[in-house]
Amino acid sequence: MAIDLRIMTLNCWGLPFPVICKNRQERIYAIGEYLHKSSFDIIVLEEIWVKSDFHMLREKLKKKLPFSHYFYSGAIGSGICVFSKFLITETMYYCFHLNGHPHKIFHGDWFGGKGVGMCSLLIDGLDINLYCTHFHAEYNPGHDEYEAHRLAQAIELCQFVRRTSSNCDMVIVAGDFNTTPAQLGYKVITHYGNLRDVWRDKNAMDEESGGTCEVPGNIYTDPKNLTRCPHGSRIDYIMYDVKESFEVLVSDWQTGIGKIPELNINYSDHEAVLVKISINKREATESPPLKNLPSQKSLSREQRESLQESLLVLDKGVARCVNEEKFFQSMVFVLSLILYAINNWLVDPMTLEDSLLMAFSISCAKLGLALAIGVSVWTALILKRAEFHALVACKEDIMKLLGV
């Protein structure tokens, strides 16, 4: 007997900053209304940063999708949540070792503690592990300083899925990968991780109609980005792997759920991914475990090439990290000299006694310099060292697989 599942994933763009994130309250409420009227079995949402938004959605959906989970992580939460028609028997969250930089406040990924969440589901006797993830954003395609971080996240995703899925019948991975099919991270996930992209199952190699971000027709799309990608970028995915004793048929796949009635605005700056799959059990055979990650001896040519290319990207990431560490070390030296000079040479104590404003200004300058020195020391000795070790650890994992 076939098991039919309707699955949806959407990056909801739910930042709690009205100036940056337009129409958040109206959009999140409309998303809840749309989902309440729909008939999905599993829903994965990203960027639900405001906890009250999750509580509102949970209340709206509890009759149709009574089981839900929010993955708490980092300072502001992962933003990832799941709503399910089926019982969630177990949950787990793995935080990526590389998550951007805390001093890049306006990028903010570090504060969300991005990673991959797992929900174990029991569906008509079928054990399914649902994985939900959100990779680091790209921000500047022409100068992608987070390429190595995102690649390391892709590798950690594959490793986590492998280590937690040996006893299940099927895995489903959904979320915003911030990676297009042409980029290395996608190749790592599909080649090294052995995950099948439902879009490829349904649409073969057609990529032009599959955009999920910066797509034409979305009111939140910057027109400048359409010159680079006229059809938008496909960075949101639903993927799967299944035991050989089962087969999966993708019967429907689409992107987008239109605009919010009456308001005539989009639900998000991303488009939703909606799929319908049918899972059938083959004739009685012994069920081998999921393939997932290969061993060193079983690497295919495609897997080996993807991993070798990954080493080059990680090498660039290590070099960038070392240079940034040296920069912050230099900042500590230069700022300390300036502070020393202000304290001992540049300021006449008699002048400060005569001018309260001058004394206040000098005190503020000293405080600012002291704070800048402290931040630079913390970044150089703690944050950049941690980033360096995470990049090297990822390289070591790949080298073990390649037998280098």
What positions carry a catalytic annotation?
270
Check: CB of residue 116 under 8 Å from CB of residue 160: yes
Rounded to whole angstroms, how far apart are CA atoms 73 and 67? 20
The strand pairing partners of 46, in sequence order, are: 11
Task: State the alpha helices, DSSP H only, in 251-348.
Answer: 301-341
Element (H, E) at 224: helix 223-228
Q: Which residues contact 40 (CB under 8 A, 6 or more apart)?
A: 6, 7, 8, 65, 85, 274
Chain position carrying tokens 């959904």: 174
Nearest Cα to Cα of residue 133 among 53, 184, 189: 189
- Both tokens assigned to 317: 């990431």
> What CA–CA distance (Å, rounded) separates 188 from 194?
9
Beta-bridge mates of residue 70: 81
| DSSP character string of 72-97 | --TTT----EEEESS-EEEEEEEE-S
Distance CA 180, CA 199 (A): 13
Cα–Cα distance for residue pair 363/334, rounded to 1 Å = 19
CA distance 327 to 324: 5
**Residue with structure tokens 């503020």?**
364
3-class SS of residue 305: helix
Q: Which distant-in-sequence residues (6+ apart) come within 8 Å of 369 by Cβ?
A: 335, 338, 339, 342
Tell me the torsion sign for CA atoms 42, 173, 201, 168: negative
394's torsion region: left (phi>0), alpha (psi -120 to 50) or beta? alpha
